[in-house]
Each structure stands twice: as structure tokens, then as C-alpha cells.
Amino acid sequence: MKFGKEFALQRVPEWREAYMNYNYLKTLLEQILIFRQRQPPESQANRPNLSRSLKRKVSLIRAFSGLRNASLRKHKEDEVIVVNAMQQVDEEQGGEGGTSYQTIFLRSSEEGGDLELVFFRRLDNEFNKVIHFYKTKVQEVVNQADELSNQMDALIALRIKVNNPIIEVVHDSGEHKMASLDVLDRVKINAIIDTPMSTVRSVFNNLNLDLNYNKNELKDAQGKLKQAFLELYEKLRFLKNYAYLNQMAFSKIMKKYDKITSRNASDAYLKMVEESYLSQSDEVCYMRKYLF
């Protein structure tokens, strides 16, 4: 199965618009290919060729093996793109926002360069969209994990109250105190109505104010909390898959670009992808490992 079809099948339906628009970028590459195929042979012969460029660089290095600066200058001449990371300013928050990426295409003056310029502009838009969505969703699950941690504390307190209503806790000071249920007062879940987490909140909020819990209430709370953890795990799985699929999509589209144009731009762009939040973020793996 071709990657484009597999990419479409593996996407989370609710997040469909947040994935890289692989098919549209392929369309832009097809326009570049059509333009190049329509050029006369002499024009094609004058166009810089990747293999010829590499051979010329190798011969220079061999001829001037002791002149490292010369080889570095030659490497610069072979550059196709420069990718810059720019820090955005969040005007609403009055501080720094996220990082956005901009590619400078160095061959725009060549024949058909305007088409390649359009491709890289759209490529950057797609990557910045993916990064923004991924960061937003990761922050959501981090917040949800914190909320569930509070709920778990509350559930433990409920279990103590229901199963051992007179249990005492011995502190380091030697003082005997009743097990504290103050944690129940700290449970504040901001979730969408009719989700398991909002139901958990409803269960806790509807408990009798005089702390006269019963086992049915405890069982109900345990069931809702379990469902909320399962939902969190599912979202973490979706996020891991989202990051992987998009990284693959950017790799595939850049290799197609190199093949069509006989350039070598994929190394520089994919190095940026590899160093970005999409690849380097470890929150999702950490939560999957330590929460489940």
C-alpha cells in the first residue's frame, strides 16, 4: 500500500484536519515535475544536477584535501534551503508564544523556482500547524493527568472513610490523628459534560456533605475514574501515533522533492523536524510509562 493511502487510514478521524496535508503537497510537487518535463533539453542540461554537484565537490576535496575552508565554501554553494526557528510573541498572554519555522529557498531565481518557493511556503505552514496542534493536545493530557491524580487521592480518601471509618494515622511526631479527607475539597475537574471525568466530578460533588459515604458511591466513583484513565491512555496512544505519522509524512514528501528536483534539501529540513518539539517531546512517553 502506498504511503498516502496508509497515512489517510491511520489518522484519527476527529483530528483529520490537523495532520499534514500530504496530498496537497504532492500536487505541488507534480506541478514542479510537469514544469521540468516541459523544458527543452538544453535548459535541462544547464540546470544544476545533484549527482554532478556531488561529484564536483568530491573532486575538489580530493584536490585540495588540506584546505578545509575551501570545501566548506563549496558545501555552502550546494545548499538549497535554510530553515529558521522563530520565537512567536503571544500578544494575549503578554509573553513568548510557541516556535514557528520558516524555510528560505535559495534557488528561487532559477527556472521554475517560483513553484518550489510555493511548495516550501506551504510545507512550512503544514509543519507549523502540526506543531501547534501537537503542543496543544500534549498540554491537554498533562492537565488531565494532574486532575486524575487529584481524583485518585480523593478516591483513596473515600476508600478509607468507607472501609475503615475509624482508622488512625500515626505521624512522625507520634501524634495520632484521624485519616484526613481534606483532599476531597481539592478535587476540581473542568471537563466537558457527559465525559467520564465530568461524571467523576459529579459523583464526588454529589456525595453527602456530612461525609456519610456508602460502598455504592465508592464503587460508582471507582468505575468512573477507571473509565477516565482509559480515555487518557487512548488519547496518549493517539498522540504518539500522530507524531510518528506526521514525521513519516514530512520525510516522504521531502524525499519526493529531492527526487523530482535532483536537489538535496531533505537533509536540512528533516534535521529541523528531528530537533523540533514533535520529535523531542517526551511527555507522552513519560505518562504512558509511569501512569499505566
Name which of 31-40, 138-147, 150-159 the model is least confident about.
Answer: 150-159
Q: pLDDT tens digits for 62-103?
A: 544 444 454 444 445 679 999 999 887 665 555 556 789 999
Percent of the chain with pLDDT over 70: 64
pLDDT at 201 over 70: no
| Res 21: pLDDT | 97
Cell numbers for 257? 522533492
Assign 186 to helix, strand or coil.
Answer: helix
134 Cα distance to chain centroid: 4
Q: Which amino acid is at 179?
A: A
Please indicate whether residue 22 or residue 173 has the higher confidence score (pLDDT): 22
What DSSP character marks residue 20? -
| Res 241: pLDDT | 94
Q: pLDDT tens digits for 213-259?
A: 567 777 787 888 888 888 888 999 999 999 999 999 999 999 999 99
pLDDT at 269 over 50: yes
- What is the Cα–Cα distance from 89 to 99, expressed in whole angstroms? 9
**Mean pLDDT (whole number) for 276-288:** 81
The region that residue 178 occupies, defined by phi over 0 for left and psi between -120 and 50 for alpha, beta otherwise, is beta
**Mean pLDDT (whole number) for 9-37:** 96
Give the side-chain half-sphere CA count within 13 A for 168: 6
Which residues share a beta bridge with 81?
105
pLDDT at 6 over 70: yes
Q: Exposed/middle/buried for 250, CB within 10 Å: 0-12, 13-18, 19+?
A: buried
Q: What is the widest separation between alpha-carbon atoms in the chain?
A: 93
What DSSP character marks residue 168? E
**Taking the model in full, what pTM does it have?**
0.71
31 Cα distance to chain centroid: 29
| Res 34: pLDDT | 96
287 Cα distance to chain centroid: 15
Residue found under cell 540546470: 47
Q: pLDDT grade, residue 149 (50/70/90)?
A: confident
| Res 78: pLDDT | 77
Phi/psi at 235 (5° precision)? -65, -40
- What is the Cα–Cα distance from 192 to 137, expressed in whole angstroms? 15
- What is the Cα–Cα distance from 100 to 123, expressed in whole angstroms? 12
Contact 28, 115 (CB under 8 A): yes
Contact 105, 116 (CB under 8 A): yes
Cell numbers for 229? 484513565
The angle formed by the CA atoms of residues 281, 285 and 290, to the nearest 5 degrees, is 130
Give the count of beta carbons closer than 10 Å to the beta carbon of residue 16: 9
